[in-house]
């Protein structure tokens, strides 16, 4: 059990898992903002333009069914909510597209900057430095 907990801890504190969690939380909050913009800002003027229609009220009512002594209430197909959700999705997808496009542009700028810099020669290891010092000491002793 202790090994399992340690593995979970190492997974949970990795940068990728934490970054993903932050992204999901911010994405959820962003989705609520976009939903509010669509419901409260975009859809009312569209409804007003097309004759005062409230999209959430748009539905198709199916006939009610009589089951002997009981009569069931009519079921509805709420296509107005679907239209509103579809508009939410399109706006969120467009915003994510712009965000990814911006991030890719920044990444390509950074990549160009690193490509323009000449590569630095690799630094000698500690063993190489020590061997050079020994070589230099031996040369001094011979002279």
pLDDT band at 15 (very low <50, low <70, confident <90, very high): low
- pLDDT averaged over every residue in the chain: 81
pLDDT band at 143 (very low <50, low <70, confident <90, very high): confident
Query: Which H/E stretch holds residue 139?
Result: helix 126-142
- pLDDT on residue 45: 86
Greater confidence (88 vs 115) lies with 88
- 3-state SS of the chain: helix, strand, coil percent to 5? 75, 5, 20
- pLDDT on residue 12: 67
pTM: 0.53
- Mean pLDDT confidence for 46-71: 80
Q: Which domains does the chain have, with CATH numbers?
A: 2-142 (1.10.1200.120)
pLDDT band at 98 (very low <50, low <70, confident <90, very high): confident
Burial state string for 38-74 with b = 16 or more CB within 10 A and e = fewer than 16: beeeebeeebeeeeeeebeebeeeeeeeeeeeeeeee
Of 91, 98, 99, the residue nearest 35 (C-alpha): 91
Q: How many CB atoms lie within 10 A of CB 84?
A: 21
Token representation of residue 59: 């539905």
């Amino acid at each position: 059990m202790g090994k399992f907990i340690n593995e979970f801890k190492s997974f949970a504190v990795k940068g990728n898992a934490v970054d993903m969690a932050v992204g999901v939380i911010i994405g959820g909050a962003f989705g609520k903002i976009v939903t509010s913009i669509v419901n409260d800002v975009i859809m009312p003027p569209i409804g007003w333009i097309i004759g005062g229609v409230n999209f959430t009220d748009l539905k198709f009512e199916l006939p009610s069914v009589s089951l002997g002594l009981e009569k069931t209430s009519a079921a509805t197909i709420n296509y107005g909510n679907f239209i509103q959700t579809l508009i939410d999705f399109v706006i969120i997808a467009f915003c994510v597209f712009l965000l990814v496009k911006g991030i890719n542009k920044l990444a390509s700028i950074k990549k160009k900057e690193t490509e323009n810099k000449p590569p630095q020669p690799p630094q000698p290891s500690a063993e190489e430095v020590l061997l050079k010092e020994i070589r230099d000491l031996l040369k001094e002793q011979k002279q």
